[in-house]
C-alpha cells in the first residue's frame, strides 16, 4: 500500500554543492542505480534536476542499511540525511553533485517498481524505438530525453518572450475548422449535430491569421498544433507544432529582420551561441541549380555545375539524347577522391537512381586528362572544357548526371549530401542559416494536370511581375515567398499575402478553382479581403524540427513526448482504435464492410 504522508523534499537532486555541507535535507526521487558493498550501500537518487549519491552506513544504523538493501531500480523514495563533503579522493568529476553525498538518517519507500524493460540509467542503451514507445513514460525518465523536452520548453519560452516584447499578440484559433482544397490531406472530424458534415483539423492556421490581420490585430503569433494526414518521416509527424506568425504593414525586409532577431535570441539564450546577421539570401533558382535542393546545406561546397553546354555536340549517346530532349547535364567535382571504390560508385549510382536518374557517369581526373568508362566517347576539347568548368585537378573525381532538368539537379543534390557525409565534409558544430527567396508562384502538377501553388494560394506575386501574372505566361511569375533554411533543413516558410480580393480571385482562377468553388471554399476570406485588408505577411517555423536541429538529433520523435510510429500509431495507448458501434451511429457513419471486423 502506498503511504499517504511522506516527508516532502527540501531540496532537489541537482542543486547541492560543497557549500551545502552540513545541512540536513530531505530528497524525493527515483533509485537511478544502487551499489551494495555488503555493509555500505550507495544509492544514486534521480529527479528531473539531477542525481545525488546517498550513502547508507551500517555503522550509523544497521536497521536503516538493511532496509536500504531492499531498494531496486526505479523505486520511489524519500530520504532524510546530512550533506557531507566527500574526501577529495572520492570526488566524482562526472557528476555536477560529485563533490558531496548524503549520509542517510531515514528512508521511506514511497513506491516500489517492477523491473523496468528499459535500461533507464544507461546513457548508451539502444532499445528499439518500438519498445521505447510502448514504455514511453520510462523512456522519458532518461536524462537525455528529459533534457530534450526541457530544452524544447526553453525554446518555446524564449520564442514567447521575444514575440511578446516585439508587440505580437498571442491569439488562439480554432482546431475544428473548414476543410479546404489544396495542400495536404485533411484530418476530418465528423459533426454529430450536423450529420454528414465534417470539420477539418488545421494544416496551419493560415486563413484565420490573415483574417486576424484584417481585424486589425497587427501582429499575431501562436504556438499552434497543426495536422497533416500524410505519410510520416524522420522529420515529419501527423501532428506537429508551428511557431505561427503574421504581421501587418510590413515587407519581406521586416520579416527577415524580426525573425533573424528571434533566431539570435533563441541561439544565444538556449545554446549560448551568437549568430551573425543578416543571414545570407539565395534565390530558389540558384539553390536548385547549384545545390539541387530548395533547402541547401551550405556548411560545405561540392556545388553542382551545369555542364550541358560542354556537350552540345557530344558523340556520347546518353548526353546527345538528353540534350535533344531539352534535358541537362550536371556535374559535381570531389577533390582528391580518385581513390573512390567501385562499391562506393555503385552506392552513388543507386542513390541517384532513387531520384529518377538513369545512371551516374564518373571520371577520374589524372595528369593527362580523365579516365572512366565513357572517356572514349569524349573529345579532347570536351574534356578540357569540363575540367575547366568543374575546376578540377589531378586526383579529383567528377560525377555527372544527364536527365531532365528536375531529375538532374535533384539527384545530384542527393548525391552531394551523400558525398559530404562519405568525405566527412560537414562540421557538425556549425549552424548556417539561409533565406531562400523568389520561389515560383506555380508549378505544374502531372498528377492533377494543372498548375498548383508552390507555397499556398494566398501568396502574393512579386509586384514587379504583375504584368506577367496577368498575362498568358502567368506560370512564370515569382512569389513573394521565403523559406528559412538551417543546415539543410527547412525551418520555416512564409510569404507576403495577397490583400487584394481581385488578385486573390485571379490566383484561384489560374489554379483551376472555379468561381463557384472559390466562393464556396474561400468566400469568407475573399469577403474579408474586400473590407480594407492591410498589406500583411507572415512566416511559420516548425518547432519540433527547430529543436531537432538545435540539438543535432536525427529525428523529431526525440523532441516530442508522445510521438507516433511511421504507420501513424501511438504504441503506448494504441491510437487510433476502433470505436463502439453506438458512437458511429450517433455520427451517422457506417463503415465499409471490409473494415467491420
Partner RNA sequence: GGACUGGUAGUUCAGUUGGUUAGAACGCUGGCCUGUCAAGCCAGAGGUCGCGAGUUCGAGCCUCGUCCGGUCCGCCA
- Residues at the contact surface with RNA, assessed by CB under 7 A: 33, 35-40, 42, 44, 53, 55, 57-59, 72-73, 86, 90-92, 94-95, 98, 101, 115, 117-119, 122, 125-131, 133, 182-185, 203-204, 206, 228, 230-236, 354-355, 447, 452-457, 554-555, 557, 565-567, 569, 571
Using the minimum distance from each CB to RNA, give the nearer residue, 70 or 534.
70
Whole-Å CA distances, 114 to 43, 145, 571: 18, 21, 20
Whole-Å CA distances, 143 to 46, 84, 140, 423: 9, 25, 8, 33
Do residues 402 and 352 lie in contact, with contact meaning Cβ atoms separated by under 8 Å? no
Using the minimum distance from each CB to RNA, give the nearer residue, 330 or 493.
493
How far apart are CB 553 and RNA at their closest, in Å?
11
Using the minimum distance from each CB to RNA, give the nearer residue, 292 or 330.
292
How far apart are CB 275 and RNA at their closest, in Å?
26
Beta strands in 38-163 (DSSP E): 41-47, 50-56, 76-85, 100-111
> Where do we find the cell 536527365?
403
DSSP string, 423-440: TT---TT---EEEEE--B
Give which of 293, 25, 271 is closest to 147, Cα–Cα.
Answer: 271
Do residues 425 and 300 lie in contact, with contact meaning Cβ atoms separated by under 8 Å? yes
How far apart are CB 126 and RNA at their closest, in Å?
5
How far apart are CB 402 and RNA at their closest, in Å?
19
Q: How far apart are CA 340 and CA 355, in angstroms?
A: 22
Using the minimum distance from each CB to RNA, give the nearer residue, 384 or 591.
591
Do residues 97 and 13 lie in contact, with contact meaning Cβ atoms separated by under 8 Å? yes
How far apart are CB 122 and RNA at their closest, in Å?
6
Q: Is the peptide bond before 278 cis (omega within 30 degrees of 0)?
A: yes
How far apart are CB 356 and RNA at their closest, in Å?
7
Using the minimum distance from each CB to RNA, give the nearer residue, 109 or 232.
232
Using the minimum distance from each CB to RNA, give the nearer residue, 311 or 330.
330
Q: Report residue 306: phi and psi, to 5°.
A: -80, 110
Using the minimum distance from each CB to RNA, give the nearer residue, 208 or 267.
208
How far apart are CB 235 and RNA at their closest, in Å?
7
How far apart are CB 234 and RNA at their closest, in Å?
3
Q: How far apart are CA 553 and CA 148, in angstroms?
A: 9
Q: How far apart are CA 523 and CA 538, in angstroms?
A: 21
How far apart are CB 156 and RNA at their closest, in Å?
21
Q: How far apart are CA 119 and CA 139, in angstroms?
A: 9
Using the minimum distance from each CB to RNA, give the nearer residue, 230 or 388.
230
How far apart are CB 174 and RNA at their closest, in Å?
14
**Segment 470-476 long-range contacts (CB within 8 Å, at least 24 positions apart):** 470/506, 474/441, 474/442, 474/510, 475/440, 475/441, 475/442, 475/444, 475/451, 475/510, 476/440
Using the minimum distance from each CB to RNA, give the nearer residue, 230 or 381.
230
Using the minimum distance from each CB to RNA, give the nearer residue, 133 or 168.
133
Q: How far apart are CA 11 and CA 55, in angstroms?
A: 17
Secondary structure class of 140 (helix, strand, coil): coil
Q: How far apart are CA 173 and CA 65, in angstroms?
A: 57
Amino acid at each position: 500500500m502506498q503511504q499517504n504522508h511522506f516527508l516532502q523534499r527540501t531540496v532537489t537532486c541537482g542543486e547541492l554543492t560543497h557549500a551545502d555541507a552540513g545541512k540536513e535535507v530531505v530528497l524525493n526521487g527515483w533509485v537511478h542505480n544502487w551499489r551494495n558493498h555488503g555493509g555500505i550501500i550507495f544509492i544514486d537518487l534521480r529527479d528531473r534536476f539531477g542525481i545525488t549519491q546517498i550513502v547508507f552506513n551500517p555503522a550509523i544504523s544497521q536497521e536503516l542499511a538493511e532496509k536500504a538493501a531492499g531498494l531496486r531500480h526505479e523505486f520511489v523514495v524519500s530520504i532524510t540525511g546530512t550533506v557531507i563533503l566527500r574526501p577529495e579522493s572520492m570526488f566524482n568529476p562526472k557528476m555536477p553533485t560529485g563533490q558531496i553525498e548524503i549520509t542517510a538518517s531515514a528512508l521511506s519507500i514511497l513506491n516500489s517498481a517492477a523491473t523496468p524493460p528499459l535500461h533507464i540509467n544507461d546513457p548508451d542503451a539502444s532499445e528499439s524505438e518500438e519498445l521505447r514507445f510502448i514504455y514511453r513514460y520510462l523512456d522519458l525518465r532518461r536524462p537525455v530525453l528529459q533534457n530534450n523536452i526541457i530544452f524544447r520548453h526553453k525554446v518555446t519560452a524564449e520564442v514567447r518572450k521575444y514575440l511578446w516584447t516585439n508587440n505580437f499578440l498571442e491569439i488562439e484559433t480554432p482546431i475544428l475548422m473548414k476543410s479546404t482544397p489544396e495542400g495536404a490531406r485533411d484530418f476530418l472530424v465528423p459533426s454529430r449535430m450536423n450529420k454528414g458534415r465534417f470539420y477539418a483539423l488545421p494544416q496551419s492556421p493560415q486563413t484565420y491569421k490573415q483574417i486576424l490581420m484584417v481585424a486589425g490585430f497587427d501582429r499575431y503569433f501562436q504556438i499552434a498544433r497543426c495536422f497533416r494526414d500524410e505519410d510520416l518521416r524522420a522529420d515529419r509527424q501527423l501532428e506537429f507544432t508551428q511557431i505561427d506568425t503574421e504581421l501587418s504593414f510590413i515587407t519581406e525586409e521586416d520579416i527577415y529582420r524580426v525573425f533573424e532577431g528571434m533566431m539570435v535570441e533563441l541561439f544565444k539564450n538556449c545554446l549560448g551561441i551568437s549568430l551573425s546577421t543578416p543571414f545570407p539570401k539565395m534565390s530558389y533558382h540558384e539553390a536548385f541549380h547549384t545545390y539541387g535542393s530548395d533547402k541547401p546545406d551550405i556548411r560545405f561546397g561540392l556545388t553542382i555545375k551545369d555542364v550541358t553546354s560542354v556537350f552540345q555536340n557530344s558523340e556520347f549517346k546518353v548526353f546527345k539524347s538528353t540534350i535533344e530532349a531539352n534535358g541537362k547535364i550536371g556535374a559535381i567535382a570531389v577533390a582528391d577522391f580518385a581513390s573512390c571504390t567501385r562499391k562506393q560508385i555503385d552506392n552513388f549510382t543507386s542513390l541517384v537512381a532513387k531520384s529518377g536518374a538513369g545512371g551516374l557517369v564518373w571520371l577520374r581526373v589524372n595528369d593527362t586528362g580523365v579516365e572512366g568508362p565513357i572517356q572514349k566517347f569524349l573529345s579532347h576539347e570536351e574534356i578540357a572544357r569540363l575540367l575547366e568548368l568543374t575546376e578540377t585537378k589531378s586526383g579529383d573525381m567528377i560525377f555527372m548526371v544527364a536527365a531532365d532538368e528536375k531529375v538532374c539537379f535533384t539527384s545530384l543534390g542527393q548525391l552531394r549530401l551523400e558525398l559530404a557525409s562519405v568525405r566527412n565534409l560537414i562540421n557538425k558544430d556549425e549552424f548556417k542559416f539561409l533565406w531562400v527567396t523568389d520561389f515560383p508562384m506555380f508549378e505544374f502538377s502531372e498528377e492533377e494536370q494543372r498548375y498548383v501553388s508552390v507555397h499556398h494560394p494566398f501568396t502574393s506575386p512579386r509586384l514587379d511581375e504583375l504584368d506577367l501574372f496577368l498575362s498568358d505566361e502567368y506560370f512564370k511569375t515569382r512569389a513573394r515567398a521565403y523559406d528559412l533554411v538551417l543546415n539543410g533543413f527547412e525551418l520555416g516558410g512564409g510569404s507576403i499575402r495577397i490583400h487584394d480580393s481581385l488578385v486573390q480571385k485571379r490566383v484561384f482562377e489560374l489554379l483551376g478553382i472555379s468561381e463557384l468553388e472559390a466562393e464556396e471554399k474561400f468566400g469568407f476570406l475573399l469577403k474579408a479581403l474586400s473590407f480594407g485588408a492591410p498589406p500583411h505577411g507572415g512566416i511559420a517555423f516548425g518547432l519540433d524540427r527547430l529543436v531537432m536541429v538545435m540539438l543535432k538529433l536525427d529525428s523529431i520523435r526525440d523532441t516530442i513526448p508522445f510521438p507516433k510510429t511511421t504507420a501513424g500509431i501511438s504504441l503506448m495507448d494504441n491510437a487510433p482504435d476502433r470505436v463502439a458501434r453506438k458512437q458511429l451511429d450517433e455520427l451517422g457513419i457506417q463503415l465499409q464492410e471490409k473494415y467491420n471486423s
